[in-house]
A = this chain, B = another copy of it.
Amino acid sequence: MSLTDKKCVACRGNEAPLSRSEAEKLQKQVPQWEISEKGISLVRSFKFKNFKQSLSFVNKVGELAEEQGHHPDFSFGWGYCHVVLMTHAINGLHENDFIMAAKIDKI
Q: B66 contacts A59, CB within 8 Å?
A: no
> How many identical chains are in the complex?
2
Q: How many residues of A contact B (CB 8 A)?
A: 16
| Chain B residues, CB < 8 A from A52 | 66
Q: B65 contacts A71, CB within 8 Å?
A: no
Chain A: residues with CB nearer than 8 A to chain B? 51-52, 55, 58-59, 62, 65-66, 71-78
Q: B55 contacts A51, CB within 8 Å?
A: no
Q: B77 contacts A76, CB within 8 Å?
A: no
| Option from B58, B66, B78 in Cβ contact (under 8 Å) with A71 | B78
Q: A72 contacts B77, CB within 8 Å?
A: yes
Q: A51 contacts B77, CB within 8 Å?
A: no
